Structure 1
Amino acid sequence: MSPSSLPPHRRVTAVVLLVPALVALALWAFAWPAARTAPRDLPLGVAGPAAATAPVEQRLAQQKGAFDVHRYADGTAARAAVEDREVYGAVVVSAQGPTLLTASAAGPAVAQLLEQAVADGSGGRVTTVDVVPAAERDPRGAVLSTSVLPLALAGIGAGAGVTLLGLRGARAVAALTGSAALVGAVAAGLSQSWLEAVPGNWWTVAGTFALAALAMGAAVAGLAALLGHPGVALGGLVIMLLGNPFSGASSAPEMLPEPAGAIGQWLPPGAGVSLLRSVSFFDGAAATGPLLTLSWWAALGLGAVLIGAAPKGRTGNAAPAPERDLTPAG
């Protein structure tokens, strides 16, 4: 039964109930993580002699569940861990006092939080060194964090467009791939060439944007190929109302309430942001996980598009062939 075939009073009731339900879902998805932002097992390194680092670790342990402390032998090892995205920062304790190593490129909000947490615990006597700084033209990481929404819209638009235009099979795959490639080029041109907010190799950045757009577009088109037009709505809701607010783009996955951070990294928007940070600022460190996540979404989505276009087998309800009239002509 199509919606238009429902009695008018039922259609009115559906609109009256559906719109508030969508508003409630959107408010929950966007407002809940923002209102509950706080460190949860945030990886943080501590380096130096055991006797010197013990007080630091005790102060960090007082914030129950806030930090996942990683111990390193010296400042060199701690710095390498920050550069390899093993930790978001590290406290190096020496005879000159504590030094906090941060990486604002991994999240300016996280770097600021670490500065405050370490300074409060050490009486304010701490030297801060930004090991991997954010882009000079975008110190707050605004361009990278706000890129999630346009990419999500591009992916949803591509998947919906392919479905509504009736493209199937190889044509749909070609349209999705070509659209994603152009999205990647445009996004890299704006964010890197013009705004100078996302450094790194231009082609790698463009490829990352393109893969993220392809993963989202293929997911929407694949669901539509399997479920029909309701698949477009389902894919759009998952990407926009879960993937976007759960991505941790403006902070970090470990800053979101559980299990939002983990869910976000398994969805294309969160994986796309993580991969973009890795290839832009950290020479590809910790890029394998998000790269595989995006690749799987793209492969499964495109596979569903091809499967949905495959010819259906004959069923037992086929109309029988008309019987031949064998009566001799008179």
Structure 2
Amino acid sequence: MSAPSVLPQPTPWRRVVVTSVLVAAIVSLVVIAFTWPSRASSAHDISIAIAGPSAASNQLKSALTKGNDTFDVQLADTRADAVRMLKERDVYGAVVLSSGSAPEVLTATAASPAVAQVMNGVAAKLQAQAQAQGSAASAAGDAAAAPTVAVTDVVPLSDDDPTGSGLVAAAFPLVMGGMLGGILLTFLVHGTGRRLVGLVAFVVIAGFAVAGILQGWLGILQGHYLENAAAFALALSAIAGTILGASTLIGRLGVSVGPVLFLLFANPLASAATPSSFLPAPWGVIGQWFPPGAGARLLRDISYFPDANSTLQWLILVGWTAFGLALMGIGALVHEQRRRAHHGEHVARPEHAPDPLTV
């Protein structure tokens, strides 16, 4: 006859209460992490340029910044300078003033559709002012029609991603892919050297595959395919490598680095959909120093802003990757020292050594 199955003992009530409170706290933290950035986000400190005659530029600057912090205005000499600043991502929009003609508003929808809408609002206000001036001139006997304020999208989004939602969504597989890679390698691969080889193979294959899907199939990413693949591979290695490093150093508990640090903290601060300045200071800036923020900006730059200086984003991803590899190395050394110490004790005191008191 088979032995009767032993039923598990009921969980103590104290543990039930503690577990319930802990789960509720985790759920609350997740809700805060994913809703607070959108709730606290507001249009402020938007970098724009004003190009034109000095007197008119300063007058418009005062009008745009008086009593609010919506814009951070820089002055440009010519329209060409303003266009260059847009393409290098120094500003998100521009207003071009010229004597004898209507102002022109420059936007870069690929940088931020939200800011492009704000700049369209500026164009509407300038148009209203021009019409008011035209009405006043008409009442004074001047029949000249009010000039039309032109809006030019200097860096538009691709026809395959006209709203930019695909580019925003591309940041999610970057985070989740890095986390899944790090967690699975931690549980399925043992040995620091083998994990390192697995990490390299994973990020290279995944980088080419994900970039191929998002660019070659869906048409979301633009620019050079190899650059996009390299950016994805490096972003994945920054996240997965850090998880592997923490797990090598402190054990399987290190996998919690992924959900806590990268998903709950860094991902909501990545500003993949809006400028980092929209978040309350200093969180927007802090978010750009983590792989989700740096990776999302790098993919946008490669796709639409080849003239922008993306050196900092590459260095941030390289730095996180190096940090993860350093943790792996330190963890391997610590475990090797413990193994040698344990082996030394075993050799010094053999299991069947005679008791010196009986000799």
Using structure 2 for the length normalisation, give the TM-score: 0.83
Corresponding residue to 1:196 among 210, 219, 224: 219
CA 1:117–1:21 in structure 2 vs 1: closer, same or farther (change >3 Å)? farther
| Cα distance in 1 for residues equivalent to 2:307 and 2:210 | 19
Q: Does structure 1 conserve the Cα–Cα contact (< 8 Å) formed by 2:126 and 2:149?
A: no
| Cα distance in 1 for residues equivalent to 2:32 and 2:16 | 25
Structure 1 residues 251-288: Cα deviation after superposition (integer angstroms, max 9, x where no partner): 12112222221121011011001111111211151211
Corresponding residue to 1:292 among 315, 321, 338: 315
- Structure 1 unaligned blocks of 5 or more: none
- Structure 2 unaligned blocks of 5 or more: 1-7, 130-147
Q: Does structure 2 conserve the Cα–Cα contact (< 8 Å) formed by 1:215 and 1:295?
A: yes
Deviation at 1:7, TM superposition (A): 6.0
The aligned counterpart of 1:100 is: 105
Corresponding residue to 1:111 among 113, 116, 125: 116
Q: Does structure 2 conserve the Cα–Cα contact (< 8 Å) formed by 1:43 and 1:67?
A: yes
Q: Does structure 1 conserve the Cα–Cα contact (< 8 Å) formed by 2:57 and 2:75?
A: no
| 304-313 or 233-242, which deviates more | 304-313
Percentage of matched positions with identical amino acids: 36
CA 1:54–1:162 in structure 2 vs 1: closer, same or farther (change >3 Å)? same
User: Quick check: 1:321 aligned with 2:346?
Assistant: no
| 2:57 counterpart letter in structure 1 | T
Corresponding residue to 1:243 among 266, 271, 275: 266
The aligned counterpart of 1:59 is: 63
The aligned counterpart of 1:74 is: 78
Matches within 5 A, 1:185-264: 185-264=208-287
CA 1:194–1:55 in structure 2 vs 1: closer, same or farther (change >3 Å)? same
Q: CA RMSD in A?
A: 2.6
| Cα distance in 2 for residues equivalent to 1:275 and 1:140 | 19
| Cα distance in 2 for residues equivalent to 1:5 and 1:231 | 30
> Which SS does the other structure have where 2:268 is aligned?
coil
| 1:301 counterpart letter in structure 2 | G
- Between Structure 1 and Structure 2, whose CA radius of gyration is higher? 2
| 292-301 or 223-232, which deviates more | 223-232
Deviation at 1:100, TM superposition (A): 1.3
| Cα distance in 2 for residues equivalent to 1:281 and 1:5 | 61
Deviation at 1:6, TM superposition (A): 12
The aligned counterpart of 1:179 is: 202
Q: Does structure 2 conserve the Cα–Cα contact (< 8 Å) formed by 1:56 and 1:121?
A: no
Structure 1 residues 16-67: Cα deviation after superposition (integer angstroms, max 9, x where no partner): 1122211221222111111122223221111110122123211221252222
Identify the structure with bigger relative contact order (alpha carbons < 8 Å, sequence gap 6+): 1
| Cα distance in 2 for residues equivalent to 1:325 and 1:20 | 57
Q: Does structure 2 conserve the Cα–Cα contact (< 8 Å) formed by 1:102 and 1:129?
A: yes
The aligned counterpart of 1:28 is: 32
Q: Does structure 1 conserve the Cα–Cα contact (< 8 Å) formed by 2:103 and 2:126?
A: no
The aligned counterpart of 1:272 is: 295
Deviation at 1:321, TM superposition (A): 2.9
| Cα distance in 2 for residues equivalent to 1:12 and 1:74 | 69
Q: Does structure 1 conserve the Cα–Cα contact (< 8 Å) formed by 2:203 and 2:233?
A: yes
Using structure 1 for the length normalisation, give the TM-score: 0.90
| 1:106 counterpart letter in structure 2 | A
| 181-190 or 266-275, which deviates more | 181-190
| Cα distance in 1 for residues equivalent to 2:93 and 2:60 | 14
| 59-68 or 17-26, which deviates more | 59-68
Q: Does structure 2 conserve the Cα–Cα contact (< 8 Å) formed by 1:136 and 1:197?
A: no
| 237-246 or 121-130, which deviates more | 121-130
Deviation at 1:126, TM superposition (A): 2.8
Q: Does structure 2 conserve the Cα–Cα contact (< 8 Å) formed by 1:59 and 1:121?
A: no
The aligned counterpart of 1:37 is: 41
> Which SS does the other structure have where 2:41 is aligned?
coil
| 1:321 counterpart letter in structure 2 | R
| 73-82 or 40-49, which deviates more | 40-49
The aligned counterpart of 2:144 is: none
CA 1:285–1:31 in structure 2 vs 1: closer, same or farther (change >3 Å)? same
User: Quick check: 1:168 aligned with 2:191?
Assistant: yes
Q: Does structure 1 conserve the Cα–Cα contact (< 8 Å) formed by 2:87 and 2:307?
A: no
| Cα distance in 1 for residues equivalent to 2:307 and 2:191 | 35
Number of residue pairs aligned between Structure 1 and Structure 2: 326
> Which SS does the other structure have where 1:94 is aligned?
coil
| Cα distance in 1 for residues equivalent to 2:228 and 2:187 | 30
| Cα distance in 1 for residues equivalent to 2:10 and 2:198 | 35
| Cα distance in 2 for residues equivalent to 1:19 and 1:98 | 57
